[in-house]
Structure 1
Amino acid sequence: MINKLKTVLNKLRKEAEKRETSVLRVAQRAIDVRIRQRMYLDEAIMIGVLDPRLPSDVAKAYIGRGDFVKHIREINGDGKGLLADKSLFYQKFMRDGIKIPKCYIFYSPEETITGDQRKLVSQADWIEVIKNELPDDILIKPALSEFGLGIEAYSRKDGRFVNKSESLSYEELYHKITSQQAYGKCIVQQRLRNHDFIHDLSNAEALQCVRLITFDNGKSKETQFFTAWFKISSGKGITDNFLHGTTGNLLAMVNPEDGHIIKVYRAHPLGGIIADVERHSVTNRQLTGITLPLWDELKTLAEQASKAVLPVKAVGWDIAITNDGPVIIEGNSEFAAMGKEGPYFHRDDLDSLIQSVA
């Protein structure tokens, strides 16, 4: 508890320094938005509503994560199960013919099946698949995790699956997944690679996805594309998550109509984020103003996916762009609030969402 309080006070001090005001005034605003808008401290810092110079009525117009999720749940009903469990989600999309990463093993303590629905019962069954059917580059993804947590990548080398931290024989990989329960319920799938254009932007191995928010009320033939964001890797780690800038990655606002990057956010040294990035810090490649490849194909895929998960009406899709075309990585029914002004939701964004799915 003491360490948690120290962390909060440190964040408040940094924000006060950045805003050139007192810690007390920042803390008062933080308490206000937490009670009134159910806004967590990190998101309040990210949005900038803790600046005492910001009029109170302007601060009130921003939606906290708590309020946002409440409204999203009202819109989407009880359809979260499919999207929350990646194993169920991937199997449905495989049946529907919607492009996802190729899945080789669906593991759960109750039953394990292959991508083509064969049961794996014995260790010998597993070893046969691991040895002869898995590609040389794989990803093991917990079925119930969020924010890319728990994902591990391996490459086959000299009859073992290795990464930076370990080298596993086929038997050791089998035991890690099953008897050790390292991932819980999980999926063993192909590791996708970025489109050459995307790779050249960052020179990173992490799969970098577009987050495209779609609305579909089930009545109209057309899916609405509300906002689009592109998560750009800083070159570290195997995921592209932004997490309020804490990962060091970048977050780009994208025009959902044509796929060009409008502006790019990074972490501010004193906390929060700032949209002042024009070039990638590692490659020096231009980011603002460029157009992402295969954008029409990406939107078509997102529309297919949005129809497939109805009656869930509002979804944040993570879509990878590869040399073989766009691929759905996952859908989120309680997605991060990424609006039209920035990586947060304004009251106007929420009103637009509600009207769109009515």
Structure 2
Amino acid sequence: MNRSRVQKRWRQLRKKLVQNHPDGLIDFSRVLRWSASEKFYPHVEISQMFRARFSMITTFAMWVLQIWYGLRWVLFDAWFSIFRAINDYADHSDMARSAQFWRLVKYTFSYAIPASDLYENGLMTPNAPVLDYVFSTETQGYHLQQNRNHFDAQSARDLLADKSRFGDEMGKMGVPVPNTMSVEQATQQTLANMFPAQIDRIFVKLRSANAGFAAFSATKTANGLTGQNYRGAPLLRAEDVELAWKHILSFGDVIIQPFISNHATLASLSNTNTAVTLRLVTKFNVNSPLPVAARLEIPVWDLELDGQISYVLFPINLKTGALEPSPKRGIYGHAFDTLIDDIFAKCPPIVPCWDEIASYSIRAHHRKFDLYAIAWDWVITDDGPLLLEGNSGFGLDTQQMQNGGLLAD
């Protein structure tokens, strides 16, 4: 195992040791099937599927971690989860604060569900079907469970993870993708020397990574390079940009692509000078993939955290491409709700290029990827849509936001 892989494994282990939730595998009822609720069995199976992918040695280590997480969860982290959620969201719920507290205690301790997930999935009402939902701690296990009958799933995941090879394959199929340049981790060149000719702004990201980890944009000016990291913090000096360049190279190979400008009808929706993206999820239905959920993701400066970017999400009607109001109302506070209303008023009624995006996504999924579902991330330009990437381990909020809990059947 090379040095970079050892460093990556150590970062993953360190993150596991200090995280403040059980990650879908620590709740004892999930492991031993002690839960009396039949509705909870799918959650147990998801947790078992998550563990099934590990070796015997790793599985044993997880049982040791089970004790660590279980004690932390009961003695500290579950309480922290509850009180933080109440502090953030309680004032925006119609339930009495005491009723909210006991509902959170019930599901956070009995089923190891992060308290904030109950608010964010709209489940803080007395009869809400909590156990129909897949939660953030279970997402990875759910994807593994759904892919268990797809025998070429691993090679499909590998292709999605390698953004350079993914772009090449999509281009061969006629799916529009941005022009990219691959750079090996061992390069000694500065970003200024790597900057493509005739281009004023670029986006730099890891060849194999997700959630924008270590990514940043850089702009060529008369005084040198400036930029912005993925969280929205400015890189004011050329030295800051070069430090970001060295930082991302420390994790692996990278790709450079021209910064993509949004379609004229979408460009004014964000105040962050970053791209508005469209996420479309396709899912195999009998013999062919079909769209199951879509949303427009608009980056905005967070109203409470200076220098951070949050996202306003608007679901998209799958039949018409029409934008719909965000259903997650009442959990962000009045100021953010007002911002959502203001942005929605400026949105085009129909997403540009919707039929093309759906068609390209279905074609790519059907012809190239043996996976039960893929989330496709697009940017829409004045010249048409461009596919940025596909994700096999995506968050499940889009589908559940539009269609209800994924475990209902």
Aligning the two structures, in what range does the TM-score lie when normalised by the shorter sequence?
A: 0.7 to 0.9
User: Are 2:184 and 1:98 equivalent residues in the alignment?
Assistant: no
2:317 is matched with: 255
CA distance change for structure 1 residues 168 and 45 in 2, over 3 Å: closer, same or farther? same
Where does 1:1-358 land on structure 2 (aligned, <5 Å)? 8-17=82-91, 18-23=93-98, 25-34=99-108, 39-49=113-123, 51=124, 53-55=125-127, 58-76=129-147, 77-78=153-154, 79-109=156-186, 123=189, 129-130=194-195, 133=197, 135-158=199-222, 160-163=224-227, 164-168=234-238, 177-178=245-246, 181=249, 184-202=252-270, 205-216=273-284, 220=287, 222-234=288-300, 236=301, 247-265=309-327, 268=330, 279-281=341-343, 285-287=345-347, 290-339=349-398, 342=401, 345-347=404-406, 351=409
Tell me, yes or no, if the aligned pair for 1:319 and 1:329 is still in contact at 8 Å: yes
Could you state the TM-score of these two structures normalised by the residue count of structure 2?
0.64
Shift of 1:223: 2.8
Q: Deviations over 1:117-162 (max 9, x none)?
A: xxxx6649x87643x5472210011234433342211111137322
Residue 267 (structure 1) shift: 6.6
Contact 1:233–1:250 (CA under 8 A) maintained in structure 2:
yes
More strand by share: 1
In structure 2, distance between residues paired with 1:99 and 1:254: 21
Change in 2 beyond 3 A, CA 1:174/1:3: same
Distance of aligned partners of 1:272 and 1:98 in 2 relative to their CA distance in 1, 3 Å threshold: farther
Partner amino acid, structure 1, of 2:207: A
When residues 202 and 127 of structure 1 are mapped into structure 2, their CA distance, relative to the original with a 3 A threshold, is closer
Q: Cα distance, 1:103 vs. partner?
A: 0.6
Q: CA deviation at 1:204?
A: 5.0
Report the alpha carbon displacement of residue 320 of structure 1 after superposing the two structures with TM. 1.1
Deviation at 1:196, TM superposition (A): 0.5
Which consecutive unaligned segments of at least 5 residues does structure 2 have?
1-19, 21-74, 148-152, 228-233, 303-307
> 1:54-77: CA deviations, max 9, x gaps?
226x22222323444323212334
Considering fraction of residues, name the structure with more helix: 2
Which amino acid in 2 is paired with 1:280? Answer: D
Give the conservation status (yes or no) of the 8 Å contact 2:82–2:105: no
Q: Does structure 2 conserve the Cα–Cα contact (< 8 Å) formed by 1:213 and 1:225?
A: yes
Q: Share of identical aligned residues, percent?
A: 18
Amino acid paired to 1:142: L
Question: Contact 1:248/1:267 (CA < 8 Å) preserved in 2?
Answer: no
8 A Cα contact 1:161 1:167, kept in partner = yes
TM-score, normalising length: structure 1:
0.72
Tell me the residue number matched to 1:116. Answer: none
| Cα distance in 2, alignment partners of residues 37 and 176 from structure 1 | 41
What letter corresponds to residue 160 of structure 1 in structure 2?
A: G
Quickly say closer, same or farther: Cα 1:301–1:331, change in 2 above 3 A. Answer: same
Q: Which moved more, 1:135-144 or 1:189-198?
A: 135-144
Q: Once the 2 structures are TM-superposed, how far is the Cα of residue 81 of structure 1 from its aligned partner?
A: 2.7
RMSD: 3.9
Moved more, 98-107 or 188-197: 98-107
